């Protein structure tokens, strides 16, 4: 059988199912009879021992010096803590509750004490304690939480959700595909899956399906048609193997365009850059012929860090990045931190509406030491190459002015410390309607801007970009978003400030004619979509792109825009073949 999902990362994946979930049955608060107390305590002891054995087994394939090994060690030490164990046993006997209730209460108490500590690193350990409580509760119910360190076969991972941190530690050698019940088209995990080239589907309610997918069931994730095939027939298996091979051959064929000039048939040149999140991705951008980095998401460097990298550590990393680009531009976005991203090494308050709270430049301005440390490292790295620095979520000129005050402070500290630094270009990511409308006051301070369409769409339409229930009704392109992109380009061209686009919209080859026709001369694209976008560019005609953009910009309905873009792509594809 097959079920449809929403494709967030294209490709075809074969593998055996492995479900990881944090869903647990509701706690049972029923009072225990006296004779069951001892049994419940024994079951807790067995669960603790099983979980410790499981965690030790996870460590067998890890280097003892690596962070992953040491994090597991911390969990083992907590589980082995005799005082903690005695608290749990006492709670069961004193309040006559089940072991799961005792684990929930005692671990939450410990987590609350931990989160109140002044030391930010120790305070963030509270999340680890909550996570360990879930694992122990799972062990009480007879199953252990996921251990992916021992995977040896191609595996398609099914999960309710994955945080960016969880995704970052996946053993991608053996994970061929990812299926999530939640997340959005532009969620960070979706972006990471695309960047890693792993086929992924979202909005797939596998846990509510009548046909539960058991672990080790053979699956085929068709990230081209959006179908998940469960226990496929040998005929279908062979058919999709052939389709996968054809897709691989198609991608291989695209490689002939890697070194061709990025220009339309009538000679209109467009700069094509790449979006990346780590040094490994940077090392591969020459494989697709990118002319540099248009977006380096530095916050992904923090996702699994035990502590915030200091100035020297960041300086070395940015130097490695700029050296690997051999003179091409490196556009570094300062930490785009907010309550919507789990970053254990930083202190973040819980917020009712994290997307509207302390994130992006707001976080930097409320944590100036973190910002200054990063800026100092970037300024020093600028001595070694072409670096542009841009700030996320700037909506007001006052925010920009405050950021520049801190940058001057960073420069003053470097001078006092007799550390050299280079010149740098400054820009912002335009992500809110306010930023678009306030551009005239901000552009005199800037060398470039980049349009972040993921958040610009979210804030324009007041639609959570990670909510799968809104993905169809509020797609990335709408009349309002097109107007804001048009206005942004107009503002920048009037003041001769360079304008780019680094949102996921730029990685869609069907949308490229619209974006180029609207006047964008620079795009930053996910590496996996890079050559598809480049081919769409070099096979097209700029004047026709302009006429197409004028038509699309005149439309007032989302579905009419989608039809116009699909029709143009279809017609153009027919002409180009």
Q: Which residues are annotated as a binding site for Mg(2+)?
A: 431, 455
- Distance, in Å, from the CA atom of 51 to the CA atom of 57, rounded to the nearest integer, reads 10
Give Cα 309 distance to the centre of its chain. Answer: 20
492 belongs to the catalytic site: no
**What percent of the chain has a predicted confidence (pLDDT) above 70?**
86
pTM above 0.85, yes or no: no
Q: Which two tokens stand for residue 163?
A: 């945080």
Among 159-173, 258-272, 352-366, the least confident range: 159-173
Q: Which residues are annotated as a binding site for phosphoenolpyruvate?
A: 297, 333, 454-455, 465
Instruction: Using pLDDT thresholds of 50, 70 and 90, give the confidence band for residue 164.
Output: low
Q: What is the spatial order of strands in the sheet that 6-9 belongs to?
A: 2-4, 227-230, 218-222, 12-20, 155-159, 175-180, 200-202, 6-9
Is residue 548 predicted with pLDDT exceeding 60? yes
Answer with the residue of higher pLDDT: 130 or 533.
533
Contacts 24+ apart (CB under 8 A), 400-409: 400/428, 400/442, 400/445, 400/446, 401/445, 402/365, 403/361, 403/364, 403/365, 403/371, 404/445, 406/364, 406/365, 406/368, 406/371, 406/372, 406/375, 407/375, 407/379, 409/368, 409/372
Q: Which residues are annotated as a binding site?
A: 297, 333, 431, 454-455, 465
389 beta partners:
332, 426
CATH architecture of 258-576: Alpha-Beta Barrel (3.20)
| Nearest alpha carbon to residue 205 among 222, 221, 183 | 183
Burial class, 366, CB count within 10 angstroms (exposed 0-12 / middle 13-18 / buried 19+): exposed
| Nearest alpha carbon to residue 540 among 505, 506, 575, 507 | 575
188 belongs to the catalytic site: yes
Q: Average pLDDT over the chain, rounded to whole?
A: 86
Is residue 574 predicted with pLDDT exceeding 70? no
User: Active-site residue among 188, 229, 367, 491?
Assistant: 188
| pLDDT digits 0-9 by tens, 404-429 | 999 999 999 999 999 999 999 999 99
| pLDDT digits 0-9 by tens, 93-107 | 999 999 999 999 999
pLDDT of residue 23: 66
Is residue 575 predicted with pLDDT exceeding 70? no
pLDDT of residue 144: 66
2-22+146-251 placed in CATH 3.50.30.10: yes
Give Cα 322 distance to the centre of its chain. Answer: 22
Span 185-194, mean pLDDT?
68
DSSP string, 204-229: --GGG-SS---TT-EEEEETTTTEEE
Span 450-458, mean pLDDT?
93
User: Active-site residue among 58, 229, 492, 502?
Assistant: 502
pLDDT of residue 265: 94
Is residue 224 predicted with pLDDT exceeding 90? no
34-141 placed in CATH 1.10.274.10: yes
Residue extent(s) of CATH 3.20.20.60 domains in the chain: 258-576
Residue extent(s) of CATH 1.10.274.10 domains in the chain: 34-141
Residue extent(s) of CATH 3.50.30.10 domains in the chain: 2-22+146-251
Among 162-166, 251-255, 309-313, 524-528, the least confident range: 162-166
- Distance, in Å, from the CA atom of 49 to the CA atom of 394, rounded to the nearest integer, reads 51
Span 487-504, mean pLDDT?
95
Among 5-14, 229-238, 512-521, the least confident range: 5-14
Top-confidence range, 68-82, 202-216, 385-399: 385-399
């Amino acid at each position: 059988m097959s079920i449809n999902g929403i494709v967030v990362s294209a490709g075809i994946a074969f593998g055996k199912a492995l479900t990881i979930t944090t869903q647990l049955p509701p706690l049972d608060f029923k009072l225990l009879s006296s004779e069951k107390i001892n049994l419940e305590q024994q079951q807790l002891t067995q669960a603790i021992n099983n979980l410790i054995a499981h965690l030790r087994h996870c460590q067998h394939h890890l280097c003892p010096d690596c962070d992953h090994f040491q994090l597991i060690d911390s969990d083992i030490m907590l589980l082995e803590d005799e005082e903690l164990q005695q608290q749990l046993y006492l709670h069961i006997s004193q309040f006559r509750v089940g072991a799961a209730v005792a684990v929930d209460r005692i671990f939450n108490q410990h987590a609350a004490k931990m989160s109140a500590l002044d030391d930010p690193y120790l305070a963030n350990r509270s999340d680890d304690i909550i996570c360990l409580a879930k694992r122990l509760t799972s062990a009480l119910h007879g199953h252990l939480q996921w251990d992916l360190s021992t995977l040896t076969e191609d595996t398609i991972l099914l999960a309710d959700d994955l945080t960016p941190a969880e995704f970052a530690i996946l053993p991608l050698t053996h994970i061929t595909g990812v299926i999530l019940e939640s997340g959005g088209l532009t969620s960070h995990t979706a972006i990471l899956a695309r960047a890693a080239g792993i086929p992924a589907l979202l909005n797939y309610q596998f846990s509510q399906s009548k046909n539960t997918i058991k672990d080790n069931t053979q699956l085929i994730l068709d990230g081209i048609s959006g179908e998940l095939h469960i226990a496929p027939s040998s005929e279908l298996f062979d058919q999709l193997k052939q389709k996968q091979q054809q897709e691989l051959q198609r991608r291989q064929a695209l490689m002939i365009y890697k070194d061709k000039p990025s220009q339309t048939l009538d000679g209109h040149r467009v700069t094509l850059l790449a979006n990346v999140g780590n040094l490994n991705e940077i090392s591969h951008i020459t494989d697709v012929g990118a002319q540099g980095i248009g977006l380096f998401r530095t916050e992904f460097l923090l996702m699994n860090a035990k502590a915030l990298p200091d100035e020297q550590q960041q300086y070395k990393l940015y130097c490695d990045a700029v050296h690997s680009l051999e003179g091409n531009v490196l556009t570094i976005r300062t930490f785009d931190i907010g309550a919507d991203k789990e970053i254990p090494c930083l202190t973040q308050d819980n917020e009712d509406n994290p997307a509207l709270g302390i994130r992006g430049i707001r976080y930097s301005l409320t944590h100036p030491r973190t910002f200054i440390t990063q800026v100092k490292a970037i300024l020093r790295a600028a001595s070694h190459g072409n670096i542009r620095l841009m700030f996320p979520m700037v909506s007001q000129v006052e925010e920009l002015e405050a950021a520049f005050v801190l940058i001057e402070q960073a420069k003053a500290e470097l001078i006092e410390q007799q550390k050299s630094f280079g010149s740098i270009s400054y820009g912002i990511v335009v992500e809110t309607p306010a930023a678009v409308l306030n551009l005239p006051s901000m552009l005199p301070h800037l060398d470039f801007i980049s349009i972040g369409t993921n958040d610009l769409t979210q804030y324009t339409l007041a639609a959570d970009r990670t909510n799968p229930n809104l993905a169809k009704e509020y797609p990335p392109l709408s009349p309002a978003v097109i107007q804001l992109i048009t206005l942004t380009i107009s503002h920048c061209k009037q003041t001769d400030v360079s304008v780019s686009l680094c949102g996921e919209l730029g990685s869609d080859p069907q949308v490229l004619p619209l974006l180029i026709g609207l006047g964008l001369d620079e795009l930053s694209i996910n590496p996996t979509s890079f050559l598809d976008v480049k081919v769409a560019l070099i096979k097209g005609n700029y004047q026709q792109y302009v006429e197409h953009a004028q038509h699309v910009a005149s439309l007032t309905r989302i579905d009419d825009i989608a039809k116009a873009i699909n029709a143009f792509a279809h017609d153009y594809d027919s002409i180009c073949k």
